């Protein structure tokens, strides 16, 4: 009788343990570790009390290894997330992948067309414009700064930006418009070669494109603060000085003369000076008729800022000389078209970060000889 009871209890323990370890294709999704008897009961009959005493049977070396392997397998499976129920006829779903990488779209190529000169873009301005349509993952600039590439997080955002901005006219510049098109790729998400890091640093310090951002949904955009540049001139608080200047053009940006294009040429020539770039120099066109974030009711003006005194003075002197030539050109234009010849002057106001503002003054020689160019 003792042998029969021991055998029965051992078999029952074997079946109970089988449900703790899963096996594929088993009944009710239950798994039994092949060839392993997980639990062998050792039962003895006690005639005095009429009870059965349960003890774990002594295990040899092989049985101990099997038992340890079974326990490790059970602990591992108990920590796994539950699988979704399988639907007949449907493919099995893969395990969830946490922290999967975000999907990105095909690159958009951006440039300004319709001008007789190459228009210069900046990464900050491009990002501001396209961020109105969704999450911008990356912005790339070419070496010359005339072409940019934009990548969105979602395809519908890229399609909306391309549809809305392509062929968009630039306010204040006759004939200028944005060209936005999907770039040719060699794969689903081909990435263009990385631009020159030194060039990107220079482009980040420039805000040349700001005056000509087109008007449209979501505009205007706020301007970002200038990046901090290293300069020998330091204040007591450790911050570099900054010199600013506003030169009023004196001519409205309208009609056939296209004064905006001429002033942009001046601004671009100033920014191309390496020393001006090195010290965080910026040039902006502000005022009435330019469109974009710097549109205003005040007269058209060229704004210059730099953290180096010598580079700043050189830029202001160059701008004043070139604007005087634009004045001469405009007077000749008025005379040819039978319009009244106006009295023009370049009003200049300078200001340093730690100096009082210098009052505006008219420039000398405002009616000098014409040496300028036509756009």
Per-residue pLDDT tens for 349-363?
766 544 333 333 333
**What is the sign of the dihedral through the CA atoms of 374, 345, 211 and 284?**
positive
pLDDT at 207 over 70: no
Q: What is the mean pLDDT of residues 131-135?
A: 93
d(CA 255, CA 174): 9
User: Please, which pLDDT band fits residue 280 given cuts at 50, 70 and 90?
Assistant: confident
Task: Give residue 258's pLDDT.
Answer: 81
Ranked by mean pLDDT, the top range of 58-72, 81-95, 161-175, 259-273 is: 259-273
Query: Is the Cβ–Cβ distance between 343 and 276 less than 8 Å?
Result: no
Tokens of 362: 């008219």
Long-range contacts of range 65-74, CB-CB < 8 Å, 24 or more positions apart?
A: 66/33, 66/35, 66/36, 66/37, 66/38, 67/36, 67/38, 69/33, 69/36, 70/17, 70/21, 70/33, 70/36, 70/38, 73/21, 73/33, 74/20, 74/21
Q: What pLDDT does 236 receive?
A: 42
Average confidence score pLDDT of the chain: 66
* 230 vs 107, residue with greater confidence: 107
Name the region of 222 (left: φ>0; alpha: ψ -120 to 50; beta: rest): beta
Greatest mean pLDDT among 82-86, 116-120, 193-197, 233-237 lies in 116-120
DSSP 240: B
**pLDDT at position 75 over 90:** no
Strands (E), 158-272: 177-182, 243-248
Contact present, 69 and 39 (Cβ < 8 Å)? no
- Whether the full predicted model's pTM is greater than 0.75, yes or no, is no
Range from 18-32, 234-248, 276-290, 352-366 carrying the lowest mean pLDDT: 352-366
Residue appearing with tokens 């323990």: 13
The residue that leads in pLDDT, 169 or 54, is 169
d(CA 18, CA 31): 7
Check residues 81 and 223 and name the one with the higher pLDDT: 81
Could you tell me the two tokens for 78?
Answer: 């108990």
Residue 316: closest CA among 368, 356, 358? 358
**H or E element in which residue 266 lies:** helix 259-271
Give the pLDDT of residue 229: 39
Give the chain's length.
Answer: 375
Which one is predicted more confidently, 358 or 142?
142
| Pairwise CA distance, residues 8 & 18, whole Å | 16
Give CA–CA dist 328/115, Å, rounded: 23
DSSP 331: H
Tokens in use for 357?
């503002």
When pLDDT is averaged across residues 16-39 and rounded to a whole number, the result is 44
| Of the candidate ranges 109-118, 151-160, 221-230, 287-296, the one whose mean pLDDT is the lowest | 221-230
pLDDT tens, position by position, 87-126: 566 555 555 544 544 566 789 999 988 876 667 778 888 9
177 Cβ contact partners less than 8 Å away, ≥ 6 residues apart: 112, 113, 114, 167, 168, 169, 170
Unique residue bearing structure tokens 């005339």: 146
Largest CA distance in the chain: 134
Nearest to 307 by CA among 354, 347, 263: 354
CB half-sphere exposure, 157, CA atoms < 13 A: 19
Q: Given pLDDT bands bounded at 50, 70 and 90, which one contains residue 226?
A: very low
CA distance 309 to 300: 25
Q: Is the pLDDT of residue 319 over 70?
A: yes
**Considering only CA atoms, which of 262, 265, 255 is closest in space to residue 289?**
255
- Position 95 scores a pLDDT of 52
What pLDDT does 183 receive? 85
Rank 61-70, 160-169, 179-188, 244-253 by mean pLDDT and report only the highest. 160-169
Return the residue matching tokens 């980040």: 204
**Looking at the predicted structure, is the pLDDT value of residue 150 above 90?**
yes
Residue 208 has pLDDT above 50, yes or no: no
CB 142 within 8 A of CB 148: yes
Say what the pLDDT of residue 304 is: 92
CA angle 204, 245, 345 (to 5 degrees): 130
**pLDDT score, position 64:** 60
Which residues on adjacent β-strands are paired with residue 51?
46
The percentage of the chain sitting over the pLDDT mark of 90, rounded to a whole number, equals 18
95 or 336, higher pLDDT: 336
Domains of the chain: 2-79 (no CATH), 108-200 (3.30.70.330), 239-362 (3.30.1370.10)
């Amino acid at each position: 009788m003792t042998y029969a009871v021991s055998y029965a209890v051992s078999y029952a323990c074997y079946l109970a343990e089988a449900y703790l370890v899963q096996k594929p294709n088993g009944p009710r999704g239950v798994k039994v570790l092949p060839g392993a008897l997980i639990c062998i009961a050792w039962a003895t009959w006690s005639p005095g009390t009429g009870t059965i005493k349960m003890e774990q049977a002594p295990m040899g070396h092989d049985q101990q290894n099997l038992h340890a392997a079974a326990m490790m397998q059970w602990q591992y499976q108990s920590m796994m997330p539950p699988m979704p129920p399988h639907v007949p006829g449907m493919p099995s779903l893969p395990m969830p992948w946490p922290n999967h990488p975000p999907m990105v779209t095909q690159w958009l190529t951006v440039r300004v067309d319709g001008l007789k000169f190459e228009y210069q873009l900046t990464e900050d301005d491009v990002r501001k414009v396209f961020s109105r349509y969704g999450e911008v993952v990356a912005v790339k600039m070419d070496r010359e700064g005339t072409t940019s590439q934009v990548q969105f997080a979602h395809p519908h955002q890229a399609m909306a930006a391309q549809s809305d901005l392509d062929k968009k006219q630039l306010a204040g510049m006759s004939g200028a418009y944005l060209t936005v098109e999907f770039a040719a790729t060699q794969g689903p998400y081909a990435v263009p070669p990385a631009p020159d890091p030194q060039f990107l640093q220079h482009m980040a310090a420039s805000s040349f494109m700001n005056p000509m951002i087109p008007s449209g949904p979501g505009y205007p955009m706020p301007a970002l603060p200038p990046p901090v540049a290293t300069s020998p001139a330091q204040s007591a608080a450790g911050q570099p000085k900054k010199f600013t200047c506003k030169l009023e053009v004196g001519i409205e940006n309208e009609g056939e003369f296209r004064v905006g294009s001429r002033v942009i040429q001046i601004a671009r020539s100033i920014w191309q000076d390496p020393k001006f770039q090195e010290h965080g120099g910026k040039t902006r066109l502000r005022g009435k008729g330019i469109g974009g974030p710097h549109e205003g009711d005040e007269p058209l003006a060229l704004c210059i800022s730099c953290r180096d005194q010598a580079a700043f003075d050189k830029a202001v002197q160059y701008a004043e000389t070139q604007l005087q030539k634009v004045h001469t050109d405009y007077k000749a234009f008025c005379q040819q078209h039978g319009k009244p010849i106006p009295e023009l002057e370049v009003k200049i106001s300078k200001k340093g970060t730690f100096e009082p503002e210098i009052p505006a003054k008219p420039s000398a020689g405002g009616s000098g000889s014409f040496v300028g160019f036509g756009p």
